[in-house]
Homo-oligomer: A and B are copies of this chain.
């Protein structure tokens, strides 16, 4: 900038005025400064500017894994909102590891992110989060809440959705319904399991632990666990899966084992090709794009000084019947 000032024979401040359109610059000065800027290929260093300004126009996004379709769609939605408001987006995957997540949050915050959107990894220390909030870094939590922290959250109706999906299977005549979900320490998994149980109890069916598997959907134990459930004396006639990864896992396994016809299946989370499979898969769809968009808008409002009371948004889920959930069970037609 001082080079430009020297080249056009004015002071540094005047160049700043030109760059920022601050007014009170004569037409002639303006022209000569502009010329110097072009000639020297000058570009304002946003960094220095933001140091002075105290704000970075950057937000951070911390999710479990961008490569998961649910989160990648959410990410895209956040990106779009950020871009629209001229914000930059930092992103990183916590890989469901609270130490890694903490490291990410710390570096985002210390490098000046104005705010963060976080899907907290299980085991995240609330005291740590509170310290970040106190340090002036706004946060909005998505997909999972952060217990003990006063902050905006955007969650899906996990429990209600799972209950609706389970009830749908019951209505189609199933009573032996298995549930496969992520580890119970994961909030969404626990909620969905609770919804499944609620629906069973509401229908007068006793929830049985034998029919429930709670394990990360990528673990090696999955296949064996599914087999074990199938080998029960009174095996399930229907399955509820707790997330898209588990749905894929289960469907792949059933295909590998050559099990035909497929048992009834309702999956939590829609997933690509779910409609192309045969039978097409009935799902409880979330709306990750809406979740991301809402969270981003909430965060940007907070960042620009919105002091309204904390908001907790609960997004409805939607049952999409495609066939796999409508296969009649042994108790249909009673």
A278: chain B residues within 8 A (beta carbon): 255, 277-278
A43 interface residue per 8 A CB criterion: yes
* Interface flag for A66 (CB, 8 Å): yes
Residues of B within 8 A of A93 (CB): 76, 79-80
Say whether A135 faces chain B, with CB atoms less than 8 Å apart. yes
Q: A43-B135, A83-B92 are in contact. Are A277 and B277 (CB under 8 A)?
A: yes
Residues of chain B lying within 8 A (CB to CB) of residue A41: 131, 134-135
Chain A, range 121-155, C-beta contacts under 8 Å to B: 131, 134-135
Interface size class of A (residues with CB under 8 A): 35 or more
How far apart sit A110 and B56, CA to CA, in the bound complex (Å)? 12
Neighbouring B residues of A66 by C-beta, 8 Å: 66, 72, 75-76, 79
Instruction: Using CB atoms, name the residue of chain B closest to A131.
Output: B41
Q: Does A107 contact B (CB under 8 A)?
A: yes
Of A46-54, A164-172, A180-188, A198-206, the segment with at least 4 beta carbons within 8 Å of chain B is: A46-54
Copies in the complex: 2
Residues of B contacting A131 in the complex (Cβ-Cβ under 8 angstroms) = 41
B contact residues around A92 at 8 Å (CB): 79, 82-83, 88-89
One digit per residue, 1 when the CB lies within 8 angstroms of any chain B CB and 0 when it does not, for chain A 83-113 equals: 1001011111100000010011001101110
Shortest C-beta distance, A203 to chain B (Å), equals: 30
A275 within 8 A of B: yes
A135 to B41, CA, bound (A): 8
Identity of the chain B residue whose Cβ is nearest the Cβ of A73 in the assembled complex: B67
Q: Please state if A89 and B88 are interface contacts (CB–CB under 8 Å).
A: no
Q: Which residue of B lies closest to A71 (CB)?
A: B72
Contact of A104 (CB < 8 Å), options: B83, B104, B275:
B83
With A89-B91, A90-B90, A248-B272 already in contact, the answer to whether A111 and B72 are too (CB < 8 A) is no
A44 at interface, CB cutoff 8 A: yes
A304: Cβ under 8 A from any B Cβ = no
Contacts A51-B51, A278-B278 supplied; 10 other A-B pairs, CB < 8 Å: A41-B134, A58-B90, A67-B73, A72-B72, A79-B93, A80-B93, A82-B92, A86-B107, A252-B276, A277-B278
